[in-house]
Amino acid sequence: MPRAGVTAERLTLAAAELADEVGFANVTVSALARRFGVKDASLYSHVRNAHDLKVRVAVLALAELADRVGDAIAGRAGRDALVAFANAYRGYATDHPGRYAAAQVELDLDTLLAGAARRHADMTRAILRGYHLPEPAQTDAVRMLHSTFHGYVTLEHTGAFQHTARPAEESWRHTLNALDAALRHWPTDR
């Protein structure tokens, strides 16, 4: 009987696809084994346990997201960069809801985290360069942007915006305008 050719990488990728299809919460070792035509126990030679598998998907997702955002903001600045970043971010969450959900798991392993999460923070800071914010306002602005983007796509996907006629697309556009304005006139303090 020929081998199925399971590797940690192929498992992670398949788990990511599975997540996008059935939701990250439903990504299970059993389901993954089924997809490979293999018994559950066989997967434990490649991943330590279910949590390990989920972390791998999270790291994959963070890297993909960073790639997409990085491409989008290349060569742009100021408002253009902000919009490009935001749309790339939201686009990834829409195209890959399962992967995006995976990216939100708590990553204790700062070593791995430092890799992908740092890239995100750095890119957000790159956007802000056009707005000339000094520290620590820059850090505050990074957090606000991240919060707004993450909050928006999360609420959008849980259906929180479906009870009003206004298209989510329109509100998104205007939210970005408001963010741009907020960054241009960042309040010194009070």
Partner DNA sequence: ACCATTTGCCTAACTGCTCTAGGATAGTAC
Partner DNA sequence: GTACTATCCTAGAGCAGTTAGGCAAATGGT
Chain residues binding its own copies by CB under 8 A are: 104-106, 110, 113-114, 117, 121, 136-137, 139-141, 143-144, 146-152, 154-155, 158-161, 163-164, 166, 168, 170-171, 174-175, 177-183, 185-187, 189-190
- Cβ proximity to DNA, 51 vs 184, nearer residue: 51
Identify whether the C-beta of residue 157 lies closer than 8 Å to the C-beta of residue 93: yes
One-letter identity of residue 187? P
Query: Number of C-alpha atoms within 13 angstroms, CB side, residue 126?
Result: 20
Q: Is 40 in the site for DNA (CB under 7 A)?
A: yes
The Cα 75–Cα 146 span in angstroms is 21
The Cα 168–Cα 38 span in angstroms is 42
To its own copies, the closest distance from the beta carbon of 141 in angstroms equals 8
To its own copies, the closest distance from the beta carbon of 66 in angstroms equals 14
Dihedral angle computed from the Cα positions of residues 39, 97, 63 and 15, in that order, rounded to the nearest 10 degrees: 0
Interacting positions 94-153 with DNA (CB under 7 A):
none
Binds DNA (CB under 7 A): choice among 13, 46, 76, 91: 46
- E strand segments, the chain: none
Note the residues at the interface with DNA (CB under 7 A): 1-7, 28-31, 37-42, 44-46, 48-51
